[in-house]
Structure 1
Amino acid sequence: MENQLKTEGKFNYVEAGDGTPIIILHGLMGGLSNFDGMTNFFPEKGYKVLLPELPLYSLPLLKTNVKQFAKYLKEFIDHKKFKEVILVGNSLGGHIGLLFTKMYPEYVKTLVITGSSGLYESAMGESYPKRGDKDYIRKKTENVFYDPKIATPELVEDVYDTVNDRTKLIRTLSIAKSAIRHNMAKDLPEINTPTCIIWGKNDTVTPPNVGKEFNELLPDSELFWIDKCGHAAMMEHPDRFNEILIDWLVKRKF
């Protein structure tokens, strides 16, 4: 991550550029560096990009859930004094973005989800590797991507450390169960916020049918596919991801 992490009170975040704020929400195993492609691209297009570190491992266990993360996001937006934002979420981050949009629709200009949980148990149930030896963790991490080379040794090490840290593992399991409980199938038809859905055609964590279902249930949504792409489109195909998103934002005048 080229940009330095800022700390203001309880918020740690990266910020780059000026203009309409784009807030990026990372996933359960997703680091801020996963979004370097966006952080380097969108400030040059007139947007302010912010990546808050979600408190996945710092909240009390009983508050370690999707709804509390949505409330944390509200506090962050209020802290920054933003009136309206563009939300971009991958995996768990997409789920948080959806729930936030349901809870606080007046804050969201447009929502962008990619590989989002929120519809099916399978969307979250296998999206984090369970404990095991490093070779097992490496294979599970590689399976997240179409191109296994994206799972660098550093990324595998990060995942391995997380799932073998008892405190983090307990919270990871709590978040996963919370995501399953917060199924949003009945809520999506009530979310009228314009939504851009960008999905990997080869996503095995949230398969293509999940992206189609989001598109069918969200009233004002468009679905875009990226070929030879797994669960983290913004990592595997950052240029194509950015191209789809900037075209959407320009077309919708965001």
Structure 2
Amino acid sequence: MNYEVKQIDKFRFIEEGEGEPLILLHGLFGALSNFQDLIEYFKNSHKVVVPLLPLFDLDIFHTSVGGLEKHVHKFIEARNYDQIHLLGNSLGGHVALVHVLKHPERIKSLILTGSSGLFENGMGDSYPKRGDYEYIKRKTEVTFYDPATATKELVDEVYEICNNRLKVIKIIALAKSAIRNNLGEELSQISQPTLLIWGNDDTITPPFVAKEFNKLIPNSELFFINKCGHAPMMEVPAEFNKILEEFLTKLKQPAATIA
């Protein structure tokens, strides 16, 4: 499925459907393909928006979680989105958390899946190796419970990034920024309804991370999906979409009145 990538000023994004905005923030090796099933499902009920985060376009001093959050904030302001359901996977979840903490006023709900911000094994025991396709293939497969989810197309995308010296430097800068930017002491400030959808077999942000988010974010609920790794919306899209739809439907219902 091909989507039109719009460009307005310095912002590149896709926007499908109508309704309350559902903004999707991808991770460190993320691409539009990560959200394909989610976009197709929710564009019938929401305005689904995927900003392409400038992972490799910021100068090295702003190549950080904070730098990406500033870009997202300017994008939301420029597009004048409101009543936003903000969803982030992996590093995108971390950016979403920082945004909600800094600019909560336009955010109606927060959805995190495999988010960094507390703990992550992003690089495992080593940094990306240039020119070693099999190594990149293995590292990409580890993202998922089922290695077959790491298609050749996906591995090729990651390989292209890791074979570019400047991109590798920026990937490492972002990964280090995520590790430094621990939000544990700030999460109690989040008041928005928050949905946590986690793979029970996530080795990058393991299940204990989800439980800690659930404990620290006051108005949060946690769902685990079995036989699922770090990117549930890619690996088990039907189950992911069902959980998310129930959460969003519940938010539309008026609060129960006390007789």
TM bucket (normalised to shorter chain) is: over 0.9
Q: 1:98 to 1:212 in 2, by over 3 A?
A: same
Q: Is the 8 A contact 1:18 1:43 kept in 2?
A: yes
Q: Please identify, of 125-134 and 203-212, the stretch whose mean Cα deviation from structure 2 is larger.
A: 125-134
Q: Aligned equivalents of 1:66 and 1:213: distance in 2?
A: 20
CA offset at residue 211 of structure 1? Answer: 0.6
Q: Please say if residues 89 and 113 of structure 1, whose CA atoms lie closer than 8 Å, have aligned partners that are also in contact.
A: yes
Superposition map of 1:211-230 within 5 A? 211-230=210-229
How far is 1:154 from its partner? 1.1
Residue 194 of structure 1 deviates from its aligned partner by: 1.1
Letter in 1 for 2:33: S
Secondary structure of the residue that 1:223 maps to in structure 2? strand
Which TM-score applies when normalising by structure 2? 0.94
Task: Give the whole-Å Cα distance in 1 for the aligned partners of 2:139 and 2:50.
Answer: 26
Secondary structure at the counterpart of residue 102 of structure 1: helix
Alpha-carbon RMSD across the aligned residues, in angstroms, is 1.4
Q: Which runs of 4+ in 1 moved over 6 A?
A: none
Aligned partners of 2:27, 2:232: CA distance in 1, in Å? 12
Check 1:63–1:212 CA distance in 2 against 1; reply closer, same or farther (3 A cut). Answer: same
**Greater Rg, structure 1 or structure 2?**
2
Matches within 5 A, 1:187-226: 187-226=186-225
Alignment partners' CA distance in 2, 1:31 and 1:200:
19
Residue 244 of structure 1 corresponds to: 243
The Cα of 1:125 is off from its aligned counterpart by 4.2
Partner of 1:8: 8
Q: Percent identity?
A: 47
- Secondary structure of the equivalent of 2:218? coil
Q: How many residues align?
A: 252
Q: Identify unmatched segments of 5+ residues in structure 1.
A: none
- Tell me if structure 2 keeps the 8 A contact 1:127–1:205: no
Which residue in the other structure is 2:85 paired with? 86
**1:181 paired residue number:** 180
Counterpart mapping for 1:100-119 below 5 A: 100-119=99-118
Residues 49-198 of structure 1: pairs in structure 2 closer than 5 A = 49-120=48-119, 122-126=120-124, 130-132=128-130, 133-198=132-197
Shift of 1:227: 0.9
> Secondary structure at 1:252's aligned position in 2?
helix
Task: Note the alpha carbon deviations across 1:139-174, whole angstroms, 9 max, x for none.
Answer: 111111001111011111111111120110010011
Alignment of 1:1-40 (within 5 A): 1-40=1-40
